[in-house]
Amino acid sequence: MSEQSQMSLFPPRTVDELVEDIEKLTQEVQSLYCLDEVPWIVGYSGGKDSTATLQLIWNAVAQLPIEKRTKTIHVITTDTLVENPIVATWVRRSLDRIKEAAMEQKMPFEPHLLHPKVKDTFWVCLIGKGYPAPRSRFRWCTDRLKIQPANNFIRSVVRDNGEVILVLGMRKAESVSRSATMQKHEEKRVRDRLSPRSSLINSLVYTPIEDWRNDEVWIYLNQWSNPWGQSNKDLFTMYRGATADNECPLVVDTSTPSCGDSRFGCWVCTLVNQDKSMQAMIQNDDEKEWMMPLLEIRNELDIHEDHDKRDFRRIYGKVELFERNNEGEMAVVPIPGPYLKKWREHWLRKVLSAQTGIRKNGPEDMRDITLITLDELSEIRRIWLEEKHEFDDSLPKIYEEVTGEPFEDPRPGAGNQLWGSDEWEVLDEICKPDTMHLELMSKLIGTEYKYHTKSRRTGVYDALEKCFESSSRSQEEAIENAHYKRDLKAAAQEGDVYAIKQLKNREMKAAVTDGDVAGIKQLSWGTMKYPSINSDDEDGEN
């Protein structure tokens, strides 16, 4: 939301009026805090809004007698593990100071740094499973990386206490959509300033600075000292450095525009057209040129026409079709699936190269930077070996090539494979140029090995059959079969018996033309592609 639109929605206030509002909010916070034993959770991202909110709560509670500061106030921050490194470092240091200051000042604040589960992290999903870079229609990252870790913590507090109050730095002036959402929640308020959340049972949301403008946030941060010892001036400088023109004027009155439009987030984010904050940081400060590899990775991920890098099937091995407008003409084409093996290994090399380069040549305070954790690498390796059946086990080799260090997998028993890269190369040579044949053989071998170690092999035949269902056809055959099923379904829905017969006859003729008479009678595509050597005898008996 622009500064001008903010002024129209929220009339300018003098500094004296802002001070009066802060005094009222202080009394309101104190009253709510002392009202009951329901614990509070303050959402803290390290940005200006959450900092102002936490500071407001801290200052209000600090004015209470020590004997009344009995209710715990949890301060939670979610580290997605792909946060802007500058901001991530700032937030970690802030949490350390909050913890120290709370102990020194006998304040009831407890900071918590939350992380997504290893199976849900950005690199495990993208490099391990092959999820494509997030898009507006496939926004798989936000829920896994941000929402779930916070909600899990909130639910655990609710389980222990029955109820919780969430304190958030949300403001209507942030955007038109944010304003509309907050107004919608206001209509459901159960008491003054507290709104329920349907997604979180027994949770009420309190937004004390909901009517503040950007400039008022900066006035408060610059005129009221930070109670846990963090420098709000440094926060201001960080925002200024993330502004394209490097201008973020000191806010001295309500007529001065602010730099509140800067946005910090994940450095890999492809849900925005450009990472303007990272670009501005690099542009405005020569000492931040070490971030260029991160920006390059992000920009390389942000390619919409990436079908050549992705499988023609969905992640579960099925071809699905959709209608696509191709230069004015509608075409029915496959929905692209996960990244291919080659490109998953490519992204792994890029991330490890950036991490290694920054550790060697970056600034002193970034020499311990971690772009991808050891636990993530272990989970990626497990997925490649056990779920994708890529028994060449390429991750340790890539890790050593890029970092110059051996990969030490923390997972017990990891890497205990009967086959490795040598066997993979032999199998690849045998199957060339049929890549689907290679995939099928690796899946069959991997599935058999998985059941070989079990005391009971119940389900092995079903598992092997699924390998044939997803990998026995060539790309052309699989896509053609998907079109056949789509047309057959459409004809059935329309009750077009003639079209159904035509499709069935065409499919039968195609099989006969290919000389696959025995295949017509087979029950699976596995036996169709690799029919029994006794098929001729069976035909004679019938």
pLDDT of residue 302: 92
Q: What is the 3-state secondary structure (H, E, C) of 88-138?
A: HHHHHHHHHHHHHHHHHHCCCEEEEEECCCHHHCHHHHHHHHCCCCCECCE
Q: Tell me: the pLDDT tens digits for 315-368?
A: 988 999 988 877 778 889 999 999 999 999 999 999 999 999 999 998 998 999
Beta bridge partners of 205: 166, 195
pLDDT of residue 533: 43
The pTM assigned to this predicted structure is 0.84
Strands in 425-525 per DSSP E: none
Alpha helices in 190-291 (DSSP H): 214-223, 232-241, 276-284
Residue 231: name the closest of 405, 329, 97 by CA. Answer: 97
Instruction: State the DSSP H helix or E strand holding residue 394, giving kind and residue range, or none if neither.
Output: helix 394-403
pLDDT of residue 528: 47
**Average pLDDT of the chain to the nearest whole number:** 84
Per-residue tokens: 322: 């959709």
Residue 213 · residue 6 · CB < 8 Å: yes
Beta bridge partners of 42: 75, 167
**CA separation for the pair 310, 157 (Å, rounded):** 42
Q: How confident is the model at residue 188 (pLDDT cuts 50, 70, 90)?
A: low
Give the side-chain half-sphere CA count within 13 A for 185. 22
Residue 383 · residue 129 · CB < 8 Å: yes
Cα dihedral 189/191/192/194 (nearest 10): -60
pLDDT of residue 196: 85
Per-residue tokens: 513: 């033309």
Q: Tell me: the pLDDT tens digits for 447-504?
A: 888 888 788 888 899 999 999 988 988 899 999 989 888 888 888 888 888 888 888 7
**CA separation for the pair 486, 155 (Å, rounded):** 44
Residue 91: name the closest of 141, 132, 50 by CA. Answer: 50
Cβ atoms within 10 Å of 294's Cβ, excluding its own: 23
Beta bridge partners of 75: 42, 111
Residue 94 · residue 54 · CB < 8 Å: no
Per-residue tokens: 123: 């690199």
Give the side-chain half-sphere CA count within 13 A for 437. 10
Q: How confident is the model at residue 258 (pLDDT cuts 50, 70, 90)?
A: very low
Q: For helices 292-301 and 341-361, give the axis angle rounded to 10 degrees.
A: 170
Per-residue tokens: 468: 């044939």
**CA separation for the pair 57, 55 (Å, rounded):** 5
Residue 82: name the closest of 269, 313, 273, 288 by CA. Answer: 269
Per-residue tokens: 85: 């490194």
Q: Tell me: the pLDDT tens digits for 379-416?
A: 999 999 999 999 999 999 999 999 999 999 999 888 77
Q: Tell me: the pLDDT tens digits for 54-91?
A: 999 999 999 999 999 999 999 999 999 999 898 899 99
Per-residue tokens: 231: 């420098």
